[in-house]
A and B are shown apart, each in its own frame.
Chain A
Amino acid sequence: MPHRTLEWSSLWTIAQRELGEALRNKWLWFYAVAFGGLALALSQAGVASAGYAGLGGFGRTAASLINALLLFVPLMGLSVGAGALAADRERGTLLYLLAQPVSRAEVFWGKALGAALAVLTALALGFGLAGLGLAPTAAGNVAPFLGLAAYSLLLAFVSLGLGFILSALTKRAATASGAALLLWLGLVFAGDLGLIGTALTLRPTPAVLLTLLLANPLQVFKLAAIYSLRATLDTLGAVGQYATYRFADQLPLVLLALLLAWIVVSFGLAALLFQRRAL
């Protein structure tokens, strides 16, 4: 029987070990607990006056949730991803693993799967606890909440893929983490600040502004999250209206496709870099 390059049992073995190690990583839990706690705190702030809690809706509470997700989820994905290959390489365990009868593809995708499962675990627990916390306030519908959770997972995978790229490019874990932090700052703040500057000085059309927005996977997530809560992007003003008009019913599909494309491209690029890189 010939040896296949991608064998599920090897891939899964590697994924399981990766998952086990990632779950012992205190940072992962820091992000999950921080997010869950924040969601709870926000929901509690939202019910400060019981009568208003019943009014429900998507005010600053849910907005702050999106804010918090935009901060925590990419940070979690990037840092888990950045550590996945670089730390292993630094310890020498990566070389030893590759000397076993496994293919590079099995190692890469096994690690990717394990890391993805770890992120899924953390997010599901974070969202689950937030949901349990929000339940007594009856503050929201189920479908948008689940939509938010699902899009967060996709965003986590995007940032995980970007983290893997950094991880594949760097030798040392510390370098990878530093690069991940820089990339995070860029995605969260620098891009938006640039956009504000552009909007105030060049006054671009909504179409251009939307394109610039869609170039950042975090903003794609934001649009998708708001759309899942609202079924329209009108709340984002002219740009949101343009997006709703331009893509109509296709909008959620377009956003979903963009996030999936980011996932495929980032992991694909990382896999390519990992495959090519000398040890």
Chain B
Amino acid sequence: MRRRLVALLGLVLGLAAGLPTVVGAAPSAALTTVLVVSPQGPFTTLAAAVQAAREGDTVEVRGGVYRGSLTVAKTVRLEGVGWPVLDGGGQGTVVTLAAPDIVFRGFEVRGSGSEPHLDHAGITVTAPRVVVEGNRLRDVLFGIFVAQAESAVIRGNTVTSKDEYDLGRKGDGLRLWYSPRVLIEGNTVSATRDVVIWYSSDVTLRDNLVQDGRYGVHLMYCDRVTIERNRLVNNSVGIYTMYSSGTWVRENVIRGQRGPSGYALGFKDADNVEVTHNALVDNRVGVFLDGTPFTPQSYSRFEANVLAFNDVGVILQPAVHNNTFAGNAFWENVEQVGVQGGGQLERNQWQGNYWSDYTGFDANEDGRGDTPYHAERTFEHLTDREPRLRALLYSPTVQAIEFAAAAFPIVRPQPKLTDATPLVQPPDVAAFVQPTPGGERLGLVGAGLVALGLLAGGLAVWRRTSPGQEGHATMLNCLPRDTAAAVAVRGRGITKTYGETQALTDVSFEVRHGEAVALWGANGAGKTTLIKALLGLIETDGVIEVEGQPVGQAGKAVRACIGYVPQETAFYDLTVDGTLAFYGRLKKVGAARRGDLLARLGLSEHRRKPVAALSGGLKQRLALALALLANPPILLLDEPTASLDVAGRRDYLALLAELRREGKTLLFASHRLDEVETLADRVLILDEGEVMAEVTPAELRRQLTSPVTLSEWLTPALDFEVE
């Protein structure tokens, strides 16, 4: 009585608010009432409206947020308008639909409890023929739980679970439990644990998208299930069927299942399996079969599917038999077919499939290869036996092994399977398989990388032409510690040992500023070793100071004070200009100075030539030009004229003499009397790494022309000249 009154009141208020009210049209039918719930009334809670409603009434909910859980135990239509929110507040199940033929549509459901073993869900259905349609579920542990409720329709809902949990702890997006004849259609289930269908036969799943979950669809003890036109993307496993008979999988796209087992399709102890026109792309395993078909009289057929870019196209347990694979495309799977634990698959039928690694031909043009396809790769044979070897996949070694097996067929394993009539053209990819976009951006990235390459390569010729860089040498010039000091080079007790050989023994000498000193000795007397020691290129015992700076600690500063000309010139593959520029930059010398030196040494006309094209004399001049770049106070020359002809030598000595007159300190190794006489003030005579004597050039000449004395130092110097 009281309920009637409330309903009437609702009706009146509804009319007063100017809302559309459906009145039963059939004369004999009872009045069908719409009860309105909104924050402004007439009803402000769903529970009150449902309580007021009669069987068959409609409760329309207009916006608003309604807290607490709701149980509907009456056959009503619940229609949400403007996304009203039902919020469970983190307790229990949010909505329970417990009467037959309820329609629940257009709600946002959120905030369930989070106890997994009590099935805390967004929507739980416990009565037959309930329709749950077009709802949004989020922050719920389980999404829609259909428990012992047959013939439900779950359509067009969007479900995600609680973000804060990892996959194993989340609930299932959809869960069917002893609920036969349910239709699951057009739902989007994202980042929930599984879509579970257990003990529920004659279920249909169609046009759903299941992504980023654990099991895309898990079937157990479900007979006659149809799964068609679904998309399963980036789940751990796509569709896993156990202990069921009659699973029909058609026109699904299953892509990117890469979890621990990573099967796009897995069948365990399943019977009557029919898998046709699916695209299984980029999964760890396309199809996994264990104990399927289970009973001898049942069948298992895989036809006209595309298995592309999977790590393994099809993987079978060794005892699996009685499957048919026909008209499928095995396209670029890393391993087309694998046997867990190794073995052959001849007890299954492989007929008329396309194999992208088929190398046969079709001479009679019937579309079938004239030679059979054999799956017989050696490395696969190894990985089937010892799966850990998969760690070496993608290594060149794998190719090497295949190559070796092809060259020596004796080590080739038994083929895993043989397809006697392989297709030579792959079947067309169905239109519903959409390609991945991204090509244009790859082009951009490619162009970017080319530009980067050109830029990096271009650094080879890039020059910063700021005046500081190309201007006058300031920074690296020789900086004598004591400008008033008379001594340019001082050596004391210089000793160098190479293994057993004593290259220098207690060598001591001094060279004063403006002085020219020759190091006289035969080849192997230690001249070059001493020069290297002065340049700080080798470590020695004793003390060497150049312009007051110890060579050992201040090698760079010392080398800045020395212009060095080696005995044999060695240049990079550059032009004269390029060579000067390179060393000029190392010595921080500008272009003007380089030009002056080129002119002075008569190299101006050769400046564009490659160094390799110069004559020996010009090379020697270039070496001198390089030594003079930073205008160092000391010139260190190793056999300065050894490689020159008579005319060249005369010119070169004149140049050096001129430099000496300009005040350069000269230290040079020589075993030519003409050099010594032209240039030297003093001569240090070296033999077997020791300073034997210090003489003037005149004394040297006397001793050389005298037949007896000192001959022991001089005999090895066969090519000296006495004018």
Contact = CB atoms under 8 A, between A and B. Distances in A.
B260 A279 contact: no
Interface in A93-146: 93, 95-96, 98-103, 117-118, 120-142, 145-146
Interface stretch (A76-84, A167-175, A186-194, A260-268): A186-194
Interface stretch (B90-98, B239-247, B411-419, B448-456): B448-456
A19 B559 CA distance: 25
B599 interface: no
Interface string B446-486: 11111111101101111000000100000110010000000
A149 B455 CA distance: 16
B566 A128 contact: no
Interface residues of B, number: 101
Contacts of B383: 237
Contacts of B408: none
B416 to A, nearest CB: 18
A188 B428 CA distance: 39
Contacts of B334: 59-60, 63, 235
Contacts of A60: 332, 334, 356-357
Interface stretch (B14-22, B396-404, B668-676): B396-404
Given A57-B308, A189-B397, A237-B388, A131 B587 contact: no
Given A121-B456, A196-B392, A132 B397 contact: no
A66 B356 CA distance: 19
A138 B389 contact: no
Interface of A: prevailing SS: helix
A14 B587 CA distance: 12
Contact of A226 (B394, B425, B446, B566): B394
Interface in B516-541: 532, 535, 537-538
B600 interface: no
Given A3-B556, A122-B453, A196 B389 contact: yes
B449 A9 contact: no
Contacts of B387: 237-238
A159 interface: no
Contacts of A149: 449
A60 B448 CA distance: 26
Given A3-B560, A99-B535, A132-B450, A188 B396 contact: yes
Contact of A128 (B446, B462, B560): B446
Given A53-B435, A128-B452, A279 B258 contact: no
A241 B282 CA distance: 18
Interface string B340-363: 000000000000000011000000
Contact of B554 (A3, A136, A219, A241): A3
Given A222-B395, A236-B393, A101 B586 contact: yes
B583 A100 contact: yes
Interface string A214-228: 000011001001100
Interface string B260-276: 10100000000000000
A239 B390 contact: yes
- Chain A interface size band reads 35 or more
B572 interface: yes
A241 B311 CA distance: 14
A135 B446 contact: yes
B570 A96 contact: yes
Residue among A20, A23, A222 with the highest chain B CB neighbour number at 10 A = A20
A57 B282 contact: yes
Contacts of A3: 476, 554, 556-557, 560
A246 interface: no
Nearest to B588: A9
Nearest to B390: A237
A34 interface: no
A163 B566 CA distance: 29
Contact of A67 (B310, B395, B441, B469): B395
A49 B548 CA distance: 78
B538 A56 contact: no
Residue among B329, B332, B566 with the highest chain A CB neighbour number at 10 A = B332
Residue among A16, A56, A188 with the highest chain B CB neighbour number at 10 A = A56
Given A17-B574, A137-B439, A203-B388, 5 more contacts: A55-B308, A60-B357, A102-B586, A141-B442, A279-B537
20 contacts: A9-B469, A14-B586, A16-B462, A17-B582, A52-B332, A59-B310, A60-B356, A61-B332, A63-B334, A92-B568, A93-B571, A96-B570, A101-B560, A103-B555, A125-B449, A135-B440, A188-B397, A196-B382, A237-B391, A279-B532
When A and B form their complex, which 4 residue pairs have the shortest distance between CB atoms, in order from nearest?
A: A131-B446, A54-B435, A138-B439, A57-B309
Interface of B: 258-260, 262, 279, 281-282, 284, 306, 308-311, 329, 331-334, 356-357, 382-383, 385-400, 425-426, 428-429, 433-443, 445-454, 456-457, 459-462, 469, 475-476, 479, 498, 532, 535, 537-538, 554-557, 559-560, 562, 564, 566, 568-574, 582-583, 585-588, 630
Interface of A: 1-3, 5, 9-10, 13-14, 16-17, 19-21, 23-24, 46, 49, 51-61, 63, 66-67, 70-71, 91-93, 95-96, 98-103, 117-118, 120-142, 145-146, 149, 188-189, 192-193, 195-196, 199-200, 203, 206, 209-210, 213, 218-219, 222, 225-226, 230-232, 234-241, 278-279
